[in-house]
């Protein structure tokens, strides 16, 4: 199974279109959105081409493929326009015998770990910083932000396929990877 992970779109129609281009290029079986879909949040500047209405209209066309968790900027009002569930604080997804604990990162993160086992993987966004790190218990991965990366990083997303995680920039160039095979 091929899974595309993206986080922190923050209502940017420009980067939503970039995500659509990535989806067409990568052709994933599932799309995991790690929260902060429509609203930019009071601490963030307006993202490029901020247009939450166009973003939800675009994402709704992919509703059969999307698995999503709630970000700190997502609300019940957002759920009223999105045609796929976004209000869960986390989701546990098993692929190829690997448990993926999916969350946004504002509730569960490296400092407030969920109850995961040694071979489980915590995947979240929120910080807008891509990282792959082995922890005392489990592995931590953040695909970074598709629209507003921080600390000088590139806009990024992640692909999982055949027990390999690859964080890529928007052009598809590999930035970081982890092979579990």
Categorize the per-residue pLDDT at 161 as very low, low, confident or very high, splitting at 50, 70 and 90: very high
CATH class of the domain defined by 3-90+144-179: alpha beta
Q: Residues of the chain with pLDDT > 70: what percent?
A: 100
Residue 181: the pLDDT is 86
Those residues whose C-beta lies under 8 Å from the C-beta of residue 53, and which sit 6 or more positions away, are 81
Strand ranges across the sheet with 131-134: 90-95, 98-103, 121-124, 139-142, 131-134
What stretches of 1-151 show up as alpha helix (H) in DSSP? 13-26, 52-60, 76-81
Tokens 């081409």 locate to: 49
Torsion (CA) 6, 7, 10, 16 in degrees, nearest 10: 0
Q: Where are the beta strands (DSSP E) in 19-138?
A: 30-33, 66-68, 90-95, 98-103, 121-124, 131-134
Tokens 């963030």 locate to: 44
CB 44 within 8 A of CB 148: yes
Distance CA 68, CA 60 (A): 12
Residue 123: the pLDDT is 98
Residue 79: the pLDDT is 96
Tokens 């590139």 locate to: 154
DSSP SS3 for 17: helix
pLDDT digits (tens, 9 = 90+) for 2-60: 999 999 999 999 999 999 999 999 999 999 999 999 998 888 888 999 999 999 999 99
- Tell whether the model's pLDDT for residue 156 goes beyond 90: yes
Residue 136: the pLDDT is 86
User: Residues 95-123, buried b or exposed e (16+ Cβ, 10 A)?
Assistant: beeeebbbbbbbebbeeeebebeeebbbb
């Amino acid at each position: 199974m091929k899974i595309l992970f993206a986080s922190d779109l923050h209502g940017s129609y420009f980067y939503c279109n970039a995500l659509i281009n990535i989806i067409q290029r990568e052709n994933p079986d599932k799309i995991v959105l790690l929260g902060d879909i429509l609203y930019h949040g009071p601490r963030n500047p307006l993202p490029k081409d901020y247009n939450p209405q166009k973003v939800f209209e675009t994402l709704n066309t992919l509703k059969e493929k999307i698995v999503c968790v709630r970000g700190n900027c997502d609300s019940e009002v957002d759920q009223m326009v999105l045609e796929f569930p976004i209000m869960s604080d986390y989701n546990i997804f098993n692929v190829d015998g690997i448990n993926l604990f999916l969350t946004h990162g504002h509730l569960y993160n490296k400092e407030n770990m969920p109850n995961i086992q040694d071979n489980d993987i915590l995947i979240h966004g929120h910080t807008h910083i891509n990282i792959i790190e082995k922890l005392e218990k489990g592995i931590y991965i953040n695909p970074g932000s598709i629209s507003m990366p921080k600390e000088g990083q590139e806009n990024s997303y992640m692909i999982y396929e055949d027990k390999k995680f690859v964080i890529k920039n928007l052009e598809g160039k590999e930035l970081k990877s982890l092979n579990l095979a």
